[in-house]
Amino acid sequence: MKSALLLLLMAMLGGCASQVLSIHTLPDETPAADNAAAAANAAAFAEAAATASGESSANANSANANSAKDVDLNQPEPPPVTPADAPPMYTYDPWERLNRFTYRFNARFDEAIFLPVVNTYQRVPGPLRSGVHNFFGNLSEVDSVINYLLQWRLKLGWRSIERFVINSTIGIGGLIDVATKLKLPGAPTGFATTLAKWGMHPGLYLVIPLLGPSTLRDGVGFAADYATEYGVDLFHLYRGDVSWGLGVANAVDQRAHIDFRYYSTGSPFEYETIRFLYVRRRLIEDEGLHAKQPRKRPSADAPAGK
């Protein structure tokens, strides 16, 4: 609690204001590095896209082959997603009024408290901040291992175990992400993904206080993740004296890594737009989870998410 107040105070001292203008310094932009990263990303992606089109043409071929009764069913690839499979443009949002108020509350909280604190936090030297980020990332490996086990994705689960062991030891308690440098990049997962893997739909759209856009399934998943971490109470960090301060630091670190600003679109329809995009993103992630096995789709006239 004390550290929360301290952070607040720092944030208030951080800004300066006149009547007409209020000016805050943002982190420096790095256009040269951004250009290089974008080029690398585009190149990496070109490969994936080539694979995708290769795969879909292979599917087309096998469909042709089926019709010609020249069947090879040894590798039953699920068919690609077609436009008819897309969920409707409407989103299932029966709690809209409550959600809209929460969205507004979050926007105000973000502007008044969260972002000023994050802004101040950005002045902490980069290596220290990535240490904090790695530290919390390392703690979450426990939850990832459990969930990969529940999802029966054992290879990924094993990778999480390796990461946790390497980073907790050589990486000095998780402060340094040595594992990624050893070609074991992090791939956190949680109960939300487990529920999705088990075939649960996202369910109703839900704006969670402080956390933001979510769905009923993801909200339950988040609560289960927290309960797991609390239950395991690794290093006695979650129930000990430092838990409050750590909780705040974790929240600030996470917020600093989310490149989203409420109402930066300026649009009166931002709620609708974000809801649309968020739920579609989750549904496409579900498509990825079920890429290997065909599954039943919800009926065509049910709103997206239901």
Partner 1 sequence: MFGTPPQDIAPLPAKVPVAEINVSLPWKLPTPDVLWFDTKLRVYLSAQRKPAPLAIIISGTGSDANTSKIQVLRGALYGAGYHVLTMPSPTFPGFIVAASSTGVAGDFQQDARDLYATMQEIIRHLPRKVKITDIDVLGYSLGGANAAFVKSIDAREGKLKIHRALMINPPVSLFSSIGRLDKLFATSIGSSDAAIEQLYRRLYAQLANLYRASDRMQLDENFLLSAAAAVLKTDAEFSAAIALTFRLDLVDMFFIGDLYAGTGVVTDPKHPPKVGDSLENIQRSLRLAPFSEYFSKVFAPYYLKARPGATSASLIADNRLNVIGAALRSDGDYYVQTNDDDLILDRRELSWLQDTLGKRIAVYDHGGHLGNLGDRQQVADMLRMLAGGWPGGAT
Interaction site with partner 1 (CB under 8 A): 18-35, 38-39, 41-42, 44-46, 48-49, 51-52, 55-56, 80-89, 96-97, 100-101, 104, 107, 187-189, 259, 262-269, 271-272, 280-281, 284-285, 287-288, 291
Q: Which residues lie across from 213 on neighbouring strands?
A: 207
Closest distance of CB 51 from partner 1, Å: 5
CB of 277 to partner 1, least distance (A): 9
For residue 235, the minimal CB distance to partner 1 (Å) is 26
138 versus 175: smaller Cβ distance to partner 1: 138
Could you tell me the CA-to-CA distances from 272 to 12, 101, 104, 118, 300 in Å, in that order? 32, 13, 13, 27, 21
Q: Which is nearer to partner 1, 117 or 175 (CB)?
A: 117
Closest separation between CB of residue 25 and partner 1, Å?
5
Of 16 and 170, nearer to partner 1 (C-beta) is: 16
- The nearest distance, CB 24 to partner 1, in angstroms, is 5
Q: Cβ–Cβ contacts within 10 Å for residue 223, how many?
A: 13
Distance separating the N- and C-terminal Cα atoms of the chain = 39
Nearer to partner 1, 172 or 284 (CB): 284
The 8 Å CB, 24+ separation contacts for 287-291 are 287/81, 289/193, 289/196, 289/197, 290/78, 291/78
Q: Could you tell me the smallest distance in angstroms from the CB atom of residue 200 to partner 1?
A: 18
Taking the complex as a whole, the smallest distance from the CB of residue 128 to partner 1 amounts, in Å, to 19
User: For partner 1, which is the closer residue by CB, 6 or 112?
Assistant: 112
- Other C-beta atoms closer than 10 Å to the C-beta of 63 total 11
For every residue of 119-188, DSSP letters joined together read HHHTTS-HHHHHHHHHHHHHHTHHHHHHHHHHTT-HHHHHHHHHHHHHHHHTTTTTTS-HHHHTT-----
Instruction: Considering the complex, state which of residue 226 and residue 263 has its C-beta at the smaller distance from partner 1.
Output: 263
Q: Which two tokens stand for residue 3?
A: 């550290």
Nearer to partner 1, 4 or 150 (CB): 150
3-state secondary structure of 193: helix
How far are the Cα atoms of 41, 109, 110, 213 from residue 260, in angstroms, in the given order? Answer: 21, 14, 10, 11
Q: CB of 52: closest distance to partner 1 in angstroms?
A: 3
Check if the beta carbon of residue 99 is closer than 8 Å to that of residue 207: yes
Q: d(Cα 96, Cα 194) in Å, to the nearest integer?
A: 26
In a 13 Å sphere around the CA of 268, the CA atoms on its Cβ side amount to: 0
Nearer CB in complex with partner 1: 93/253: 93
